[in-house]
Each structure stands twice: as C-alpha cells, then as structure tokens.
Amino acid sequence: MCKSEPTQMKGLAELLTLQRMRVLLDTNILIQGADARCLEQRKAIQDFCKQNEVCICDTVFYEFLRNCSPEKFRRRMRQVESWSRKTGMMPVLPENEKIPRTFESLWILFLSVMRADPKRLIHLNKEDLWIAAAAAGHGIDHILTTDHSGDYPPEAFDDRSFDISMEKSHLVLHLKTFKRNWAREQWKTLMKAGSANIDIRSFFFGH
C-alpha cells in the first residue's frame, strides 16, 4: 500500500464526488488505470469509471492496445471491460464521417484564439485534438486526462485537477470541460468576419 498526504486524500475524495457524468477517457487514463504504481491510484480511476458513464473513442482504443504483447493485450482488454458501469465492453465511440469535420472546426477555433501566439500551435498534440473532436462530435463535454501541457487550451476547455499522488508515485488527473457556448459564440464571430463559412448547426454546437 502506498502512503498519501492529506492533500492527496482530498484529491481522491473530490474525484469520487463526480458521478453520473458522460466522460471520454484519454489514453493516459487507461494506462494509469491499468499500470499505475500504486493500487490506490488504479482503484480510484476504476471507481470513477464505474460511477460515471465513461467511454473511449477509436483513437484511444488503438493507442491503448498498440505495441502490446498478446498477453498484455488480453490483460488490458479484460481490465477495460471490468471498468464499465454496466456489464460488457466500455463503449467505443466510432470516429465516423462527422469527426473529421469536427476536428477541422476545432482546429480553426484554435488557430483563431492562438493567432497572437502561434508557437502554441506547434506544441499541440494532433492525437489529443482528434480525441477532443471525437468527444465534441458525440456531444460529450468532459474528458478525463493526465495531460495539462496545453493540448486542451484554456480558451476552449475549463480545467479541474485532482492530485492523487502517493509516495514515490506522482499522479494528477484533469477533468477538461469543453466550453460549448464559447465555441458557438466564437464561430458566430468568425462567420460574421468572413473567416469561416460553415453551418454551425451541422457540427458540435447544438447538443
């Protein structure tokens, strides 16, 4: 058993106050839930999954299972199946024809808000943007991740952090919440200025 400080116990308690939310899990959450050094950390992630309506997308599923030995692949598959709130496999959101369009929409939004500091765009992880597009395209506003490096820019996502670090095992989770109303207003501004010519009703703003 790993030792924790009062601050980390507070982070664990706050994380588990979140219930019955629709949340897309980033790949790093699946990895931590399966392989985190401390049992308490793995259990916290799994308990969160069981009390919320969690899902993954095709990109996350691929990233989680790639480069695995057959034994590790089977072990990880069993773990993901056991985390679902309901019996059966955790839902995998299809990245259908709508998701590339949503990706393009998010990319244009990010270009707009980062034009004063374009270097930020260089550091954006395209896979994380794709995961964000999958969530937004399916009407899911919440993403649980360990990533706080800027791939979910604060202009577009609110952040709530949960420090569940244990002795010799640092781990902070972040709940990113998409600012859907902000995105809607930003698109209206871009369209009015002639910077974008897109029917916003066909994308992720109407959910």
Per-residue model confidence as pLDDT tens digits over 50-103? 889 999 999 999 999 998 899 998 988 887 777 765 545 678 899 998 899 999
Q: How far is CA 97 from CA 90, 114, 115, 129, 165, in A?
A: 22, 27, 28, 16, 39
Residue 116 lies in a domain: yes
- Three-state SS letters, 94-136: CCCCHHHHHHHHHHHHHHHHCCCCCHHHHCCCHHHHHHHHHHH
pLDDT digits (tens, 9 = 90+) for 128-164: 999 999 999 999 999 999 988 778 999 999 999 999 9
Q: Does 1 fall in a domain?
A: no
120 in a structural domain:
yes
| Coil, strand or helix at 169 | strand
Decide if 188 is inside a domain: yes
Lowest-pLDDT range of 27-31, 164-168, 188-192: 188-192
Number of domains in the chain: 1
Asked if residue 173 is part of any domain, the answer here is yes
Q: Which domain holds residue 37?
A: 6-202
Residue 84 falls inside a structural domain:
yes
Q: Which two tokens stand for residue 25?
A: 């899990």
Establish if 207 belongs to a structural domain.
no
Q: What is the pLDDT of residues 162-186, one digit of tens each?
A: 999 987 789 999 999 999 999 988 8
What CATH number is given to the structural domain containing 40?
3.40.50.1010
Q: Phi/psi zone of residue 139: left (φ > 0), alpha (ψ -120 to 50 degrees), beta?
A: left
- Domain assignment present for residue 170? The answer is yes
Look at residue 86 in the predicted model and tell me its pLDDT. Answer: 54
Length of the chain: 207
Q: What is the pTM of this model?
A: 0.87
Query: Within 10 A of 16 (CB to CB), how many other CB atoms are there?
Result: 14
